[in-house]
Amino acid sequence: MFDTIIIGAGPAGLTAAIYAARRQLKTLIIAKQVGGQVIWASTIENFPGFAAIKSFDLVNKMQNQVKNLGIDIKVAQVKKITKNKNYFILLTEKEQFQTKTIIIAMGLEPRYLNLPNEKELIGKGIGFCANCDGPLYKDKLVAVIGGGNAALDAAELMSKIARKVYLIHKLDYFEAFEILVEKVRGIKNIQILLDTEVRETVGANKLESIRILNNKTGETSQLDISGMFIEIGREAQTDLVANLVKRDEKNQIIVDQGNQTSLAGVFAAGDVTQLEFKQIIIGCGQGAIAALSAYKYLQTNKNFN
C-alpha cells in the first residue's frame, strides 16, 4: 500500500515526488517515459538557476534527485483506476498497485501533422515550444504552423530571433485575437501563407526543408528552413480518469487552489489541469502543491490515522 502514486514523470510529477518524499510518504511514480514534454525541447533558458540547460540534463537532475530519495520510477502505462473504499487500485499492463492517494501529472500530448519522418525529426529541427527552443534559431529561417493564438504568439516571438518566419495555416483566415492578427501582419520578416499545408518534411538527421501545398492553386513548393514549430494545439489524454474526476471541455482535469480534483484523494498537477500557463516552472509549483495537499489529506483523514 502506497501513500501516493504519481502518474507521470515530467516536471510536475517529479517535483511532486520530491515533496512527497520529504513528507515521508511512501511514493511510487508510474509513467510511460521520464521527462514528459520537456524532452522535446533541446535547450531551456527560462528555468531559475540555469542561464541555459539542456532538457536532458534538467530531466536527469530531477530524476536523480527523486531516485536518491528512494522513490522508484516504474516505466509503464496505467490502464485502469478503481476506487475501493478508502484506497485506489491501479492496473498497468502487468501489475496492480494500491494507494491511498493519486497525483495525476500526465501532461498534454501535442497534435502532430502526421507526416512521414515528422516524429524522427523532433528535437532535430521540429519542435513544439518557441519559448523553449526559439533562441537556437537566431538569424535563421523558420516556419510556424497553425492559425490560433499560440501559433501567432510563436511567430511574433520568432520574428525577433529568426531572420525570417513563415507562418503557415491550412485555412484562409486566422483563428486568433484580431489585435494579435493585426500585429503579426505588420511584422516585416513574417511571411504569411494561408490556405497552405505542409505535405512533407525533408532531412535525415536534421530538418532541412519542407514541401508545402497551396490548397487554392494546387501549387507545390519547397521552403529551405532550419526549424519548424508545430502550434496546432495540445490535447489532454485523460480518458483514464473520465469516470473519476470532473474535466473541462478540453478534457483537462479541474482542480482547486490546492490541486485537489472533484474526488477526494485524487490530485492533479501540471499541464493536464485547467490552470492557465503551461510552463515547466509552473508545473513544478503545481506538483509541489499537489504533494503537500496529499500529505495534508492523509494527516487529516481519520481513516488513515
Query: Hey, is 155 helix, strand or coil?
Result: helix
Annotation says 129 is catalytic? yes
Q: Of 3, 57, 72, 133, which residue is the catalytic one?
A: 133
Query: CB of 121 within 8 A of CB of 26?
Result: no
Q: What's the angle, vertex CA 207, arms to CA 202 and CA 208, rounded to 5?
A: 65
Q: Of 3, 132, 153, 271, which residue is the catalytic one?
A: 132
Annotation says 284 is catalytic? no
The residue type found at 227 is G
Residues 170 and 187: their CA atoms lie apart, in Å, by: 20
Q: Of 129, 153, 271, 284, which residue is the catalytic one?
A: 129
Annotation says 132 is catalytic? yes
- Which are the contacts of 104, defined by CB distance < 8 A and separation ≥ 6? 7, 8, 238, 241, 245, 253, 261, 266, 267, 268, 269, 272
Kindly state the cell numbers that stand for 205: 538527421
- Which are the contacts of 218, defined by CB distance < 8 A and separation ≥ 6? none
**11, 182, 200, 227, 245 from 210: Cα distances, Å:** 32, 26, 6, 10, 42
Q: What's the angle, vertex CA 233, arms to CA 208 and CA 42, rounded to 5?
A: 45
Residues serving a catalytic function are 129, 132-133
